Amino acid sequence: MMKVFCGRVNPTTGSVDWLEEDEHYDYHQEIARSSYADMLHDKDRNQKYYQGIRAAVQRVKERGQEAIVLDIGTGTGLLSMMAATAGADFCYAIEVFKPMAEAAVRIIQANGLSDKIKVINKHSTEVTVGSDGDMKQRANILITELFDTELIGEGALPSYEHAQRNLMQGRWEAVPHRATVYAQLVESRRMWGWNKLFPLQMDSVDIRPPLAMQSCPGTLSVCDVQLGQMSPSDFTKLSDILCVFRVDFSQQVNSYAVSHPVHFTPIASGAAQVILSWWDIDMDPEGKITCSMKPSWMYPASQSVPWRDHWMQCVYFLPEERPVKEGEELCLTGHQDDYCVWYTLTEPRSSESPTMYRLGGVEVTSLLYNCGDTGSIPATAPLQKVSELDQVPLDRPACQCGAHITWNRTRFGELNDQHRMELYRDALRKVLTPSCVCLCVSDGSLLPFLAHSVGTAQLFQTNELGDKIQVLQKSPAGITAADLHDKKISALIGEPFFTTSLLPWHNLYFWYSRTALSDRLTRDFTVLPLRASLYVLAVEFKDLWRIRSPCGICEGFDVSIMDEMIKDSLNFRESQEAEPHPLWEYPCRALSDPTKVMTFDFREPVPTEDMKSEGSFNLVRSGESHGVVLWMEYQLTEDISLSTGLLCASEEVGECQWYPHSKQGVYFFSSVLDPQSAPTHGFKSVTYLLTFDPKLGDIRMCFTQVS
């Protein structure tokens, strides 16, 4: 088998590593970390698609026509197999990812449906129709699953537009039939803090962000979260749930930019900051078969909430905060182009009556639907065609201050965490003196403010501290005596935080920086943090385990070939690695007590030999043992520490609260990846073997459950 050399920036050591990889390494990465398993486990989605497909085939048959299906983005071929079983005469299943297309062929064959389904390994825009084409004839049933959390972010509209114009007959059925996007205006300091840097209040001093940062609209990228895990105390509803726009997939779709103004009156006074948004898809024209992405708080207590990770809910940020008063008339406008959605809030113009928005590429007039608490809009509501409006170019909002490019949403939240910053302030007071030479090694950190310095040039000027610091745009290894004015560093500080870090131990780049700076440090230098400790905890996940669990049979179809593909790719490497997840979004129970398994002493340089840790810990609660969570705890001083993982676990059931500003590492047990190999319950302890390789800056790990 051929090997290839791959150059990668090592997030822990900071070096560029040239690694010899198998030629199929990228393919295995794609499969191992895909969402295929998550989608196959989404019973609500699968059942609704199956019902909608049966109904669409029946409608075509009742017209006396052959049912010819076009399935774009077929993946495992599941939806095409549903169509063939529902009575479709023939299905064309398009899949651009070659390994997935090959798997679909095998899965379809294993289910005995090869004579009714043709898999086409192309992008849908490259498919041809004709006697010598990929499709012998145009289709009259269009089945797709091209959606992301934002609905249109994966290019659904251009794909629909092309397929409807070039691959479909003059009249077609679509599954789903339509999509409806909803929005709700809220005030939320927590979520607003994911997009704006707040003034930092320290004793009698406020550190202020520059005006350019305060007025910057931020980036256009949607913030997708499991809104059901947000506490009701984290936001105040300022509007009812509003219908922003619909897309009817049974009519010609257009992908050009358009705005959808919606008039409404606030239900409460407050600061308008954030838009919460989600969508529903109706699988049939009557809207009787609906798959909803609404957050869990909208479900009645008696109804189970479908869990899915491939579709969540959206958080959008208004360009600027705006005070609103209960009862005043306002206009929330949802703007969309072919890939993105964004919102603005304005006073309504008198000419905007009635509300105008585009449905399936046609401008329509409609009553403003107040969705109330149910979030439902009549699927058969009357729509009246009007003359097409002029298309107005829309400018996407873009970051102008640089901060939204440098910091992601969770980093904004971390910098706005007042309690966290107070811990650093108290720690710095213990280690710094007025005469010390202090060097901060962290990306975009505010620690220099707390050490009577600042973090970025704009912030320097805003807080009149530009003459008291020096920004060294160098790697630690490149810092010279001249950079330090021939002085030695007496205090080395860091959070640590680095934008390249994905897993908790990637921030050990701080340790490598300290080692590279050894010759620049005074003999009695102070370092903050003093050390980092790696902790582990055995957990039972409520739902997250599904993303790595094989499916076997899905709606009556054998998809075990896909399971084997994922298993093989995980065994290629990933099954022995942890993967990053923001666990505040994924409920779990602690089955063990947190256990410290490894400590990294920043007062000493990085060792040259491997560090090993071996041992075991007991399970103190019963439950389904799905995996181990790993995180770092930083000892800022001997009596001040900061955890980036578990904050607390309830004594009785072990419900966990997690640090919300970073991802934790998750190692899934083999019993989750391969249920046939071992059960997930009945264990008494977990053994571990961890090896930190200082050359690679990585941790090899193995966890084993013991009965």
| Residue 466, pLDDT score | 47
Element housing 110 (H / E): helix 98-110
Higher pLDDT, 303 or 459: 303
Q: How confident is the model at residue 673 (pLDDT cuts 50, 70, 90)?
A: confident
Could you tell me how many residues make up the chain?
707
Res 375 pLDDT > 60 = no
CA atoms within 13 A on the CB side of 174: 29
CA atoms within 13 A on the CB side of 327: 0
Minimum mean pLDDT range among 196-210, 431-445, 465-479, 596-610: 465-479
Which pLDDT tens digit goes with each residue over 284-320? Answer: 999 999 999 999 999 999 999 999 999 999 999 999 9
Res 342 pLDDT > 90 = yes
| Residue 567, pLDDT score | 79
Per-residue pLDDT averaged across 67-79, rounded? 97
Q: How confident is the model at residue 18 (pLDDT cuts 50, 70, 90)?
A: low
Res 384 pLDDT > 70 = no
Res 354 pLDDT > 90 = no
| Residue 461, pLDDT score | 42
Per-residue pLDDT averaged across 20-28, rounded? 52
Per-residue pLDDT averaged across 460-471, rounded? 53
| Residue 503, pLDDT score | 96
- Rounded Cα distance, 182 and 245, in Å: 8
Q: How confident is the model at residue 498 (pLDDT cuts 50, 70, 90)?
A: very high
Give buried/exposed letters for 168-191 (b at 16+ CB in 10 A, else e): beeebbbbbbbbbbbbbbbbbeeb
CA atoms within 13 A on the CB side of 527: 26
Written as six digits, the tokens of 363 are 């401008």
Higher pLDDT, 600 or 16: 600
User: How many CB atoms lie under 10 A from the CB of residue 626?
Assistant: 26
Per-residue pLDDT averaged across 49-73, rounded? 98
β-strand 117-120 against 90-94: which pairing, if any?
Answer: parallel
| Residue 459, pLDDT score | 38
Per-residue pLDDT averaged across 405-423, rounded? 94
Residue pair 510/517 in contact by the 8 Å Cβ criterion: no
Per-residue pLDDT averaged across 423-448, rounded? 90
Residue pair 446/440 in contact by the 8 Å Cβ criterion: no
| Residue 19, pLDDT score | 52
* pTM, full prediction: 0.89
Short-list 356, 426, 415, 353, CA closest to 387:
356
Res 532 pLDDT > 70 = yes
Per-residue pLDDT averaged across 189-217, rounded? 88
Res 355 pLDDT > 70 = no
Short-list 48, 51, 93, CA closest to 75:
93
| Residue 358, pLDDT score | 38
The sign of the dihedral angle between the CA atoms of 447, 451, 455, 460 is: positive
With a CB cutoff of 8 Å and minimum separation 6, the contacts of 132 are none
| Residue 397, pLDDT score | 86
Distance between start and end Cα atoms, the chain = 40
Q: How confident is the model at residue 127 (pLDDT cuts 50, 70, 90)?
A: very high
Which pLDDT tens digit goes with each residue over 394-404? Answer: 678 899 999 99
Residue pair 583/629 in contact by the 8 Å Cβ criterion: yes
- Rounded Cα distance, 140 and 378, in Å: 26
Q: Give, as one character, the DSSP assignment of residue 131.
A: T
| Residue 695, pLDDT score | 94
- Rounded Cα distance, 34 and 41, in Å: 13
Short-list 648, 646, 650, 592, CA closest to 622:
592
Written as six digits, the tokens of 560 are 């075990």
Residue pair 282/252 in contact by the 8 Å Cβ criterion: no
| Residue 440, pLDDT score | 93
Res 371 pLDDT > 60 = no
Task: Kindly list the catalytic residues.
Answer: 145, 154
Element housing 404 (H / E): helix 403-406
Per-residue pLDDT averaged across 39-43, rounded? 92
| Residue whose pair of structure tokens reads 């870090």 in the numeric block | 501
Q: Tell me: cis bond preceding 354? Omega within 30 of 0 counts.
A: yes
Share of the chain above pLDDT 70, in %: 85
Res 492 pLDDT > 60 = yes
Based on C-alpha coordinates, what's the Rg of the chain?
Answer: 28
Q: What phi and psi, each to the nearest 5 degrees, are found at residue 485?
A: 55, 40
Short-list 202, 263, 275, CA closest to 235:
275
User: How many CB atoms lie under 10 A from the CB of residue 210?
Assistant: 19
User: How many CB atoms lie under 10 A from the CB of residue 233?
Assistant: 8
Which pLDDT tens digit goes with each residue over 74-104? Answer: 999 999 999 999 999 999 999 999 989 999 9
Per-residue pLDDT averaged across 610-618, rounded? 98
Minimum mean pLDDT range among 22-31, 415-424, 519-528: 22-31
Short-list 147, 145, 141, CA closest to 164:
141
- Rounded Cα distance, 75 and 98, in Å: 10
User: Rounded to the nearest 10 degrees, what angle do helices 560-572 and 25-32 cross at?
Assistant: 120
| Residue 534, pLDDT score | 98
Higher pLDDT, 580 or 574: 580
Short-list 554, 675, 569, 548, CA closest to 107:
554
Q: How confident is the model at residue 380 (pLDDT cuts 50, 70, 90)?
A: very low
Q: How confident is the model at residue 36 (pLDDT cuts 50, 70, 90)?
A: low
| Residue 458, pLDDT score | 42
| Residue 376, pLDDT score | 37
| Residue whose pair of structure tokens reads 């920043």 in the numeric block | 602
Q: How confident is the model at residue 198 (pLDDT cuts 50, 70, 90)?
A: very high
Residue pair 315/222 in contact by the 8 Å Cβ criterion: yes
Mean pLDDT of the chain: 87
Written as six digits, the tokens of 315 are 């958080």
